[in-house]
Amino acid sequence: MSSSTSDGPLTGSCHCGRISITIPSKPSRINQCHCTVCYKLGALWGYFPKSSVTIIEKDGATRNKYLREDLAPEEFESISFDSCSVCGTLTNWSRAPAKDTDEHAKMGVNMRVFGEVEKVMGDVPREIEYC
Ligand SMILES: [Zn+2]
């Protein structure tokens, strides 16, 4: 089956709508990461160059940042798991600012913010790997 992806930018939001996220296209794959953090957060990650993702915070919302404490920062590259400060929706992970020196660094975006994943993402391959 030919993939009929009219593959333009997609914009989604957290539950309360105060944080919006725009990605350049559907991801090449969707990862249901089974690491100890992502599993409990219930994330479905799509990966993008950080410079290609636009995140807008409005109406007083910010993103709470969770830095895992069970690994030394250098072991986990200071990855921050971000969630809306108002509604708590997990929005993305990215490297904490101190480590964020490469503008093309990979980040993870929670595909659930774009709505019902089975409908929105169609036949994008799924995987269960570590992020
Ligand atoms: Zn929210």
User: Pairing between strand 19-23 and 30-31?
Assistant: unpaired
Q: 33 and 39 in contact (C-beta within 8 Å)?
A: yes
Q: Which residues are found with C-beta within 5 Å of the ion, ligand 1? A: 14, 16, 18, 84, 86-87
| Residues facing 127 on adjacent strands | 31
Please report the pLDDT score of residue 1 as a whole number.
Answer: 39
pTM of the model: 0.86
14 CA to centre of ligand 1 in angstroms: 5
In this prediction, residue 3 has a pLDDT band, given cuts at 50, 70 and 90, of very low
| CATH hierarchy code of domain 10-117 | 2.170.150.70
Please report the pLDDT score of residue 110 as a whole number.
Answer: 97
**Of 75 and 26, the one with more pLDDT:** 26
Q: Domain spans of the chain?
A: 10-117
Please report the pLDDT score of residue 130 as a whole number.
Answer: 76
What mean pLDDT comes out for the span 91-117?
84
**Which token pair is 44?**
């479905």
What mean pLDDT comes out for the span 69-87?
80
What does the buried/exposed string (b/e) look like for 29-66 if buried means 16 or more CB atoms within 10 Å of the residue's CB?
Answer: ebbbbeeebbeebebbbbebebeebebebeeebebeee
